[in-house]
Amino acid sequence: MMSYELIGISVLWLFLYGYLIIASIDFGAGFFAFYARLTKQDHLINRLISRYLSPVWEITNVFFIFFYIGIVGFFPDTAYYYGSALLVPGSIAVVLLAIRGSFYAFENYGSKKNIVYLFLYGATGLLIPASLSVALTLSEGGFIVEQGETVSLDYWALFTNPLSWSIVGLAIVSVLFISGSFLTFYASRAEDHSALKLMRNYALFWSTPTIILALTAFIYLGQHNERHFQNMMDLWWLLALSIAFFMTAMWLLYNGRRYGLAFICIMLQFFSAFFAYGIGQYPYILDPYITIQSSATSPAMGLALVVVFIGGLCLLIPSLILVFKLFLFDADYVKGKK
């Protein structure tokens, strides 16, 4: 029997992974929509993007809140340390998320074709992953100062460390890579050949920086947190799998076939890397202040959360399947006939 805190962190990690994928699609789509407008190619892809995003943008946002409420629920100490330290970067993320969410709705349901809205939407799509990835950097330790009753963030250490910059860089380029390859798949379903060509180029282009920055971040991690690095090296087979999935996806994309499978490979690529990273960090949530065991909530609450979680999934999974059937796998909808 697994302890509830282990169930908790596994489930939350899974949700964070889910957010990573669907938010990347969303964030990247915003950037591509803006970039396409600038290069006068927007007629090719904008309809495709808004057709996919309009019914699901709100769901994306919930994934994030879900992870966040889950982690402070299962591990209340995280609220104290991360909350105190992340006041500024967290508030920046709040402002960016607010601008992005509302301006999406203003643009899409309100007045269309406003370049300012589109710019804000596109720019925030890259800045949000950058600001959120700070939390991931913090978890490696060395950036938080605790003096008596106060916990604060050591900005100097954060801004001068190559690890934090490589994580930010990785977050941004993987957003573009994931999004590009998903939209390639979506365009192929819609049989929209011009959009397909454009998106495929984007996906292929962003694959190289993704893999380079992933390696860079990994090397800097080794210099910053020996323990985490060693743990990940012990999980070498997961990392090897990740690279194998990446190669397969690239081969499929390059040869221009089976785009669905290619996207699944990319999902699996990130899945194995993300879990190798997560398992390697165990048992710490914030090195060295918070471990999974030390910060866990009371057993009664842990149990209640797990129960609610299972109940909630029984509601959510069928509903999500319904959404996918109606908007993702309904060929007529994708092609714009409904």
Partner 1 sequence: MAIDTVLWSRLVTGLTLGFHVIFATIGVGIPLMIAIAEFIGIRKKDPHYTLMAKRWSRGFVISVAVGVVTGTAISLQLALVWPNFMKMAGNVIALPLFMEVFAFFFEAIFLGIYLYTWDRFKNPYIHWLLTIPIVAGAGMSAVFITTVNGFMNQPGGFVMEAGQFTAIDPVQAMLNTATFSKVFHVLSSAYLTGAALLAGIAAFAMLRKGVSTYHKKSLNLMMAVVLLFGLLNTLAGDVSAKFLAEHQPEKLAAAEWHFETGSGVDLVLMGWLNAEHEVLGALHLPKLLSFLAFGDFNAEVTGLEEFPKEEWPPLLVHYLFDLMVGIGFALLAISVLYFLFVFKKRNALNKWMLSILALIAPLAFLAVELGWFYAEVGRQPWIIRGYMRVEEAATSSPNVRIIFFALLLLYIVLGSMCVIVLRRLFNNNPAEVEMEKWMKDHPNQSTDKGGTA
Nearest approach, Cβ of 45 to partner 1 (angstroms)? Answer: 19
Interface segment toward partner 1; rule CB under 8 A; list 19-27, 159-167, 193-201, 301-309: 301-309
Exposed, middle or buried by CB within 10 Å (0-12, 13-18, 19+), for 47?
middle
Nearest approach, Cβ of 319 to partner 1 (angstroms)? Answer: 4
Residue nearer to partner 1 on the CB measure, 106 or 282? 106
Binding-site size, partner 1 (CB under 8 A): 68
Asked whether position 152 contacts partner 1 by CB under 8 A, the answer is yes
Residue nearer to partner 1 on the CB measure, 219 or 301? 301
Asked whether position 156 contacts partner 1 by CB under 8 A, the answer is no
Residues belonging to the chain: 338
Report how far residue 32's alpha carbon sits from residue 122's, in angstroms, rounded to the nearest whole number: 7
User: What would the two tokens of residue 196 be?
Assistant: 């397909």
Interface segment toward partner 1; rule CB under 8 A; list 198-206, 250-258, 264-272, 317-325: 317-325
Residue nearer to partner 1 on the CB measure, 41 or 84? 84
50-79 binders of partner 1 (CB under 8 A): 54-56, 58-59, 61-62, 64-66, 68-70, 72-74, 76-79
Asked whether position 88 contacts partner 1 by CB under 8 A, the answer is yes
The answer to whether 44 touches 89, Cβ cutoff 8 Å, is no
Asked whether position 320 contacts partner 1 by CB under 8 A, the answer is yes
Residue choice 7, 14, 35, 101 for contact with partner 1 (CB under 8 A): 101
Residue nearer to partner 1 on the CB measure, 27 or 74? 74
Asked whether position 87 contacts partner 1 by CB under 8 A, the answer is yes
CA of residue 276 relative to chain centroid, distance:
16
Round to the nearest angstrom and report the end-to-end CA distance of the chain.
Answer: 48
Report how far residue 237's alpha carbon sits from residue 239's, in angstroms, rounded to the nearest whole number: 5
Which residues sit opposite 151 in a β-bridge?
146
Which residues sit opposite 150 in a β-bridge?
147
Report how far residue 69's alpha carbon sits from residue 290's, in angstroms, rounded to the nearest whole number: 17
Q: Which residue is it, tokens 């993987």?
A: 174
Report how far residue 186's alpha carbon sits from residue 195's, in angstroms, rounded to the nearest whole number: 9
DSSP-derived secondary structure letter, 3: -
**CA-based nearest residue to 168, from 215, 100, 117, 217:** 217
Asked whether position 215 contacts partner 1 by CB under 8 A, the answer is no
Q: Which chain residues interact with partner 1 by CB under 8 A?
A: 54-56, 58-59, 61-62, 64-66, 68-70, 72-74, 76-84, 86-88, 90-91, 93-95, 97-106, 109-111, 149-152, 297-298, 300-301, 304-305, 308-309, 312, 315-316, 319-320, 322-323, 326-327, 338
